[in-house]
Amino acid sequence: MVVVFDLDDTLYPESAYALSALQAVGELGEARLGMAGFAMELHRLFNSGHRTKLFQTAIASMNRPAPTAEDLDLFLTTYRNHRPDCLEWYPDALGLVKDLYARYPLAIISDGYLPTQKLKAEALGVGEWFNPVIFTEELGRKYWKPAARAYELIMKTFPGESYVYIGDNRAKDFIAPRALGWNTVCVRRSDGIHRDALAPVNGAAHHEVDDLSAAASIIA
């Protein structure tokens, strides 16, 4: 058996990365545009569920003039290239990985902007546990999930095995592995950004769990 994991909100809370990156953007805005309180407003909006146009919304709610395209670009670049001091694993995820590591090959398939995903992976030290770590963006933007390419690469690397994918996003994580005959586990974390995403037809995971503490017995 080969056990393949998603990264964000499966192994660690994506919101922790987002808040750390927003802090960096906030401090930049405060220094560059003199917007005292920008970091705090970004955090407030994120924590109240805003996920799109966060920078513009924060600036508008602070009654500041709309940002220039150049400023927005700088904010986005800062966000995507943010290197967190450290990221904490979900303890149940680390426990599962340590448990499986001696018995099965472990791998990662992760979507997202490449510098960001690499910085997250580095901060978590995933290289110690997973090989390969596939960033779908490296294959090409069209190979982000739900594309099957990354899953097929795993099957080529480990032919003739059974395969499991463990992810959190019902909208895209399980469509390809299901079609390829993999077992699938969806972890629906209380703080997961995509916990309420809906599964398309044939896209639901075979198993759903609240955390990964019992996942080893499910996939055994």
Positions touching Mg ion (CB under 5 A) are 6, 8-9, 168-169
Nearer to Mg ion by Cβ, of 59 and 183: the residue is 183
DSSP string, the chain: -EEEE--BTTTB-HHHHHHHHHHHHHHHHHHHH--TTHHHHHHHHHHTT--SSHHHHHHHHTTPPPPPHHHHHHHHHHHHT---S--PPPHHHHHHHHHHHTTS-EEEEE-S-HHHHHHHHHHHTGGGT-S-EEEHHHH-GGGSTT-SHHHHHHHHHSTT--EEEEES-TTTSSHHHHHTT-EEEEE--TT-TTTTPPPPTT-S-SEEESSSTTHHHHH-
Nearer to Mg ion by Cβ, of 9 and 92: the residue is 9
Q: How far is the CB of 172 from Mg ion (least distance, A)?
A: 9
Nearer to Mg ion by Cβ, of 6 and 41: the residue is 6
Q: How far is the CB of 75 from Mg ion (least distance, A)?
A: 23
Q: How far is the CB of 194 from Mg ion (least distance, A)?
A: 6
Q: How far is the CB of 112 from Mg ion (least distance, A)?
A: 9
Nearer to Mg ion by Cβ, of 8 and 41: the residue is 8
Which residue minimizes CB distance to Mg ion?
Answer: 8
